[in-house]
Structure 1
Amino acid sequence: MTTLNIPPEKVWLVTGCATGFGRAIAETLLSAGYRVAVGSLSTSEVADIVDEYPETALAVELDVTNSEMVTAAVASAEEKFGSIDVLVNNAGFGFVGAIEEGEREEFAPMIEVNLYGTLNMIKAVLPGMRRRSRGHIMNISSVGGFHASAAFGMYSVSKFGVEAISESLSVEVAPLGIKVTAVEPGQLRTNFRGSSMHYAKKVIADYAETCGKTRSFIAETHGTQPGDPKKAAAVLIEIAESPNPPFRLPLGSDAYSRVRAKLAAVEEDIAQFEKQAISINYEGVVTESRV
């Protein structure tokens, strides 16, 4: 785990702290001396954390899809600690099923939490960050938010959306002193593949060799994932304290491999018809990249 010789001055708000990565982030921060607003659907789920750190931890009841609860949680954190310097949008869950298998009513709640919940939290903390001319928003995306795979299509819809929001936001708020990082974890050893994973009820036999293998892989590897959430949490601290944090942060050797593989595949794919693709402008028209 990374050892940091820095004063823990920043105030953090972390969502989804009842279990998994969110809990690991909160506990790692508090053990390092940071002040943390610990978000969960019920404060009873994080009572043990607050009991251990009564001076520096604040439990906030938080359903990220409920705008009133979001506003109240941000207000409580700012009232107690004076500011929110780092927001970690971690609350979320997964969904497995082929595009044809999943029904809207099955995956819509996931999109509501993963995507719209993230947006709700961002909009709630930005006024304070703009007033203070500082802040860092860390949106927990996924390697699946950069590289979609069989059976994770709808989950990737939610996480690709998080990446799009993050990318636009990073440009919008950079002049205001606010930083944005899209965190792309790979396989962390949490309960994400357990109770945090939802499945399409319909199973179509024709997808056995693609989505069926994904379902089997999830079941067979749950509890043996290579990524240590506590080590991942320590990296987030290092990123938050960096004067030049990255926008995109793959977390885990598997995530890094998948990101690099996707980049190589995209380059190979678009190169095939590059001549045709760039030939469609009217004569004499020159365009410039906005990146």
Structure 2
Amino acid sequence: MTIRTWLITGANSGFGRHMTEQLLERGDRVAGTVRGMDAMGGLKERYGDRLWLARLDVTDTPAIRAVVAEAFRDLGRIDVVVNNAGYGLFGAAEEFTDDQLLHQIGTNLIGSIQMVRAALPFMRAQGGGRIIQLSSMGGQAAFPGGSLYHATKWGIEGFIEATMLDVAPFGIGLTIVEPGGARTDFRYRSAMLGTKLDAYDASPASQARGIIEEAQQPSLGDPAKMAAVIIASADRHPAPKRIVLGSDAYGAVRRALTERLASLEAQKEQAQSTDVRDRA
């Protein structure tokens, strides 16, 4: 087994926490970024210098650049960067304030983009590396009440997929992870709702509000198993473009792609009819 150094955002909870614990247990080093240090005390005491910690709010771009530079300087080399930090904002598009909109995009989309941008110069200089982007089944499929969350996940998937092509000559591989529901605190503790508008009581958007407010629908996914698959992906060459985790994710993504492909095929003749026809 190769011993690696990992940089994981949001290392204190969810997939980030599971990955951090599993990596430290097997002997790897982890540079974890967190918004508060309290949750990491036990791990720091147990693993000492193998757990490097820094406070970071990923909406703060100058702080991202400073923390990434410090981590590479202190640890010498970082083999894998995991963009894990994020949260869900749910409700109809009209139900969000402008500040909520900007914070969701700033955290899930811009924060992830800036982490990649900050890490790439160091990975090019060291001759390669791996970047793993936590997305969601919501990066391929859309559900009622998820307009802003989907905007961030569809957006980051496009950014990562294009960046894969740009940095491949440098030995840097990128992977998008698309989990379904998992038994972390994402849905019932980290998720946020917009301000309720009664007009949407009759809309499918109200379904998302009901699921979160009732907090009675357990997710299917085992986060420890999912974290183990994500970790193992670092050993795969070339880097897998996408990893779908969870039977719900597989079903949702398959339905979305099948419907999209059928719609595309139905437009083949129309699409071709709009080409310029040069005269002989």
Aligned equivalent of 2:6, options 3, 9, 12: 12
Contact 1:193 1:222 in 2 (8 A): no
State the shift of 1:186 in Å: 0.7
Aligned equivalent of 2:172, options 165, 174, 178: 178
State the shift of 1:142 in Å: 0.9
Write the mapping of 1:95-110 to structure 2, written as runs, cut at 5 A. Answer: 95-110=89-104
Contact 2:182 2:219 in 1 (8 A): yes
Aligned equivalent of 1:22, options 16, 25, 43: 16
State the shift of 1:91 in Å: 0.6
Write the mapping of 1:1-291 to structure 2, written as runs, cut at 5 A. Answer: 6-7=1-2, 9-220=3-214, 224-284=218-278
Q: Which moved more, 1:210-219 or 1:56-65?
A: 210-219
With the length of structure 2 as denominator, give the TM-score of the two structures.
0.94
Instruction: State the AA in 2 paired with 1:252.
Output: G
Q: Considering only aligned residues, what root-mean-square deviation do their CA atoms show, in Å?
A: 1.7
Please give the alpha-carbon distance, in whole angstroms, between the structure 2 residues aligned to 1:275 and 1:227: 42
Q: Structure 1: 5+ residue runs without aligned partners?
A: 1-5, 286-291
Which residue pairs with 1:288 in the alignment? none
Contact 2:173 2:238 in 1 (8 A): no
Please give the alpha-carbon distance, in whole angstroms, between the structure 2 residues aligned to 1:104 and 1:41: 23
Contact 2:91 2:208 in 1 (8 A): no
Instruction: State the AA in 2 paired with 1:81.
Output: L
Instruction: State the AA in 1 paired with 2:58.
Output: V
Q: Which moved more, 1:220-229 or 1:169-178?
A: 220-229
The alignment covers a number of residue pairs equal to 279
With the length of structure 1 as denominator, give the TM-score of the two structures.
0.90
State the shift of 1:166 in Å: 0.3
Q: Structure 2: 5+ residue runs without aligned partners?
A: none
Please give the alpha-carbon distance, in whole angstroms, between the structure 1 residues aligned to 2:39 and 2:233: 27
Percent identity over paired residues = 37
Please give the alpha-carbon distance, in whole angstroms, between the structure 2 residues aligned to 1:252 and 1:261: 14
